Amino acid sequence: MTGFNTRAIHAGQEPDPATGAVIPPLHLTTTYKQDGVGGLRGGYEYSRSANPTRDTLQTALASLEQGTRAMTFASGLAAEDTLLRTVCRPGDSVVLGGDAYGGTYRLISRVMAPWGVGHQPVDLNDLDAVRAAVAPETTRVVWCETPSNPLLNVADIAALAEIAHAAGTLLVVDNTFASPYLQQPLTLGADVVVHSTTKYLGGHSDVVGGALVVADDELGEQLAFLQNAAGAVNGPFDAWLVLRSLKTLGVRMERHSANGARIAEWLLEHPAVGDVLYPGLPQHRNHEVAASQMSGFGGMVSFRLRGTDRASAEEAALRVCERTELFTLAESLGGVESLVEHPHRMTHASAAGSPLEVPADLVRLSVGIEDVDDLIADLDQALT
């Protein structure tokens, strides 16, 4: 197999046979001429079922995750919805990390629950607790997000795969934060990789999308069935944008990781800052697991503000979010530009009052690929 960057640029992306165009064409078409009834050219019939631009992206993504099949969707949550409805039936349940993305938790606890699918949040670092929570009869999925959003916890993918498989259930890994450049969960035993391609895979904050990647053909068939039958597909232009972004994923992730590490180390020394959550720091509670399953630590950094009490620490966190100038105050992450946000009131507001609630004094940074000295200067003035 060729290297990651070579596959990112070439997998599924032969020059166009009709014209020689080096970049795969954007196929903005809903339907395809048939040569006689049922005489399909290349299997294309209708663009919900298949579109050449989407197919190219799916082929490239499967290659980057070392899977055999990928399916792409209109959003990360559309991908998750398709996955959950494919594998869960009424009476089944999902064991998920106690710090899963708020939107994932909302989908499971408020959309799937009324259809009879249960859920048990657990601390994925406590393997005995995971083992105890997994019920061989009813647990269909162990859902792991690593590193997690926004607490940057890291779960041991290989250990979770062993527990899930011993009970006959699937291990799903949301690989959005790491991207396949830093971590390839299927090679560690995961059954399904989930992505919000809105984040690092898209990388330029200009396209919303999602993906599922598997290495099992039968599961791939079942997921592809619902991708078409429910139809939450991404459009060709959205697929094309992600495909273009994949080509620079490796160089972007190197720079995100270098900038993230510098900023995490700088924050550690700052008197206004309490805990710094970054898996690349030796003092991170899961640093060893992170170092063994990731080839770098990415650009997501969270930190807590000091205060004399809860309210003043929250005030301090809100102030930082409002004072930065280069770091734009906004939801989402993974783009080339740096963003800052307050998870408790923004991305994770839907988890308030639930077991997945996040601390109010937490600030989350999506560290971009700007010059790191400028980013540090911006944080410095915002923290002063």
Ligand X SMILES: *Cc1c(COP(=O)(O)O)cnc(C)c1O
- Selected from 198, 234, 245, 257, the binder of ligand X by CB under 6 A is 198
Pairing relation of β-strands 118-122 and 93-97? parallel
- Selected from 11, 64, 77, 233, the binder of ligand X by CB under 6 A is 77
174 lies in the binding site for ligand X (CB under 6 A)? yes
Contact 48, 228 (CB under 8 A): yes
75 lies in the binding site for ligand X (CB under 6 A)? yes
- Selected from 97, 103, 180, 236, the binder of ligand X by CB under 6 A is 103
The three-class DSSP label of residue 316 is helix
Please choose, out of 154-162, 163-171, 172-180, 211-219, the segment that lies near ligand X by the rule CB under 6 A.
172-180
- Selected from 7, 54, 199, 344, the binder of ligand X by CB under 6 A is 199
Pairing relation of β-strands 192-196 and 210-214? antiparallel
Contact 303, 187 (CB under 8 A): no
Closest distance between ligand X and the C-beta of residue 145, in Å? 5
Contact 248, 273 (CB under 8 A): no
Closest distance between ligand X and the C-beta of residue 332, in Å? 7
Comparison of 47 and 176: residue with beta carbon closer to ligand X: 176
Angle (CA) 369-374-380 rounded to 5° is: 120
Closest distance between ligand X and the C-beta of residue 58, in Å? 16
Comparison of 83 and 316: residue with beta carbon closer to ligand X: 83
Comparison of 196 and 257: residue with beta carbon closer to ligand X: 196
Give the residue carrying structure tokens 């408790």: 344
196 lies in the binding site for ligand X (CB under 6 A)? yes
* Residues 222-261 as x/- pattern, contact with ligand X by CB under 6 A: ----------------------------------------
| Cα 308 → chain centroid | 35
Closest distance between ligand X and the C-beta of residue 380, in Å? 27
Angle (CA) 228-28-337 rounded to 5° is: 90
> How far is the C-alpha of 99 from the C-alpha of 303, rounded, in Å?
15
Comparison of 153 and 198: residue with beta carbon closer to ligand X: 198
Residue 366 host element (H or E): strand 362-366
Contact 54, 213 (CB under 8 A): no
65 lies in the binding site for ligand X (CB under 6 A)? no
- Selected from 4, 101, 200, 303, the binder of ligand X by CB under 6 A is 101
User: Could you write out the DSSP letters of every residue in 280-297?
Assistant: TSTTSTTHHHHHHH-SS-
Contact 263, 376 (CB under 8 A): yes
Query: Two tokens at 161?
Result: 């795969």
Contact 299, 258 (CB under 8 A): no
147 lies in the binding site for ligand X (CB under 6 A)? no
Query: Two tokens at 271?
Result: 């008197």
Closest distance between ligand X and the C-beta of residue 44, in Å? 26
- Selected from 52, 67, 76, 98, the binder of ligand X by CB under 6 A is 76
- Selected from 99, 145, 191, 341, the binder of ligand X by CB under 6 A is 145
Q: What amino acid positions are annotated as catalytic residues?
A: 48, 101, 174, 199
Residue numbers at the binding site for ligand X (CB under 6 A): 75-77, 101, 103-104, 145, 149, 174, 176-177, 196, 198-199, 208, 210
